[in-house]
Amino acid sequence: MKRIAALVFLLLASCNKDKGAAPAAVAEPGTRFTKVAPAVGQTREETSDITMTLKGASTVERSKRIEKVLAVTGDTVTKMQVKFESAEPNAAVVGKTYVVDANAITDEAGKAAAPGEAKDVRKIYRAIGKPDPIAASLPTAALHPGEKVDALAKAIGEQMKDDGEGITAEGVVVTFKEARGDIGVFDVSLKLAKNEPPVTMTIDAKGEAWVSTKDGQTTKLDLKGPITIHGGPLEGTGEMTMKLEGHRL
């Protein structure tokens, strides 16, 4: 039957060609992303590893954390419990559990965290109380390889900049690369800059962002690129690598 069906299809196609009719184009299905709002009780493991090497010396910031959602408003996590399983160089937070919201950082009993620890925790969770910018920026339409996603580029740029540290993100370009199972892979390029006269620093970073097609959550951001510093005793070039990963438990 399949052989007969195939012959019939070829015959019809031949007839259409003889009549001058162009064969109908078959549209690629593309990749769609489903967005799922966070829910109280969800847990997630997050790891981060950022290394900067300059003149043979390396500066490292890395941590492993277990997060549990404690409160949600709409699609926004407003309170979270965080346990630091490891952290470098912030050893004071290792093994401790914090409750974080937009206004305060406490221990599990509700006692305010020590100022130094609170500063380290807030640096990571400064966006709590706001919708996940990457999930919010994902388009509802299907994406195809080579397609630029400007809204996602803006979201990643907002996440990468740090007003407190004076770091800006410029020239962010995000292009959909491909689907790998339940993961959508995006090519990312951007320039991070810090200007503290007489010292300026730039990082030209490239890499990939991985986003789950099932819930719109980011599972990996992997970037690296050269550092250039002008002015000051550390003037020269080096390299930065950044790997952020996360998955639900």
Q: In what order do the strands lie in the sheet with 105-106?
A: 105-106, 97-101, 76-88, 57-73, 43-54, 236-248, 218-230, 199-212, 183-196, 167-180
Query: What average pLDDT does range 42-68 have in this prediction?
Result: 94
Domain of residue 85 covers 43-248
pLDDT at 2: 37
pLDDT at 23: 52
pLDDT of residue 11 exceeding 90: no
Nearest 10 degrees: Cα torsion 223, 238, 236, 170: 0
pLDDT at 15 over 90: no
Q: What percent of the chain has pLDDT over 70?
A: 88
Confidence class of residue 22 from pLDDT cuts 50, 70 and 90?
A: low
- Quick check: is 17 in a domain? no
Average pLDDT over residues 88-114: 96
Contact yes or no for 224/51 (Cβ under 8 A): no
Report the domain count for the chain: 1
Query: Out of 15-29, 106-120, 153-167, 223-237, which region has the weakest mean confidence (pLDDT)?
Result: 15-29
Residue 20 lies inside a defined structural domain of this protein:
no
70 assigned to some structural domain: yes
Tell me if 195 is assigned to some domain. yes
Residue 80 clears pLDDT 60, i.e. is over it: yes
- Judged against a pLDDT cut of 80, whether residue 149 lies above it is answered with yes
Q: Is the pLDDT of residue 17 over 90?
A: no
Q: Name the least confident of 75-84, 99-108, 155-164.
A: 155-164
pLDDT tens, residue by residue, 168-219: 999 999 999 999 999 999 999 999 999 888 889 999 999 999 999 999 999 9
Mean pLDDT over the full length of the chain: 88
pLDDT single digits (tens) 60-73:
999 999 999 999 99
Model confidence at 5: pLDDT above 50: no
Predicted confidence band of residue 12 (pLDDT cuts 50, 70, 90): very low
Nearest to 53 by CA among 237, 199, 208, 176: 237
12 lies in a domain? no
Percent of the chain with pLDDT over 90: 76
d(CA 37, CA 72): 9
Measured between alpha carbons, how far is 157 from 172 in angstroms, rounded to an integer?
6
Question: What φ, ψ does residue 236 adopt, rounded to 5°?
Answer: 155, -160
DSSP annotation of 156 reads H
Match 């966070």 to its residue by tokens.
38
Q: Is residue 139 part of a domain?
A: yes
Is residue 186 included in any domain, yes or no? yes
Q: Report if residue 15 sits inside a domain.
A: no
Q: What is the pLDDT of residue 84?
A: 97
Nearest C-alpha neighbor of 69 from the set 80, 61, 58, 60: 80
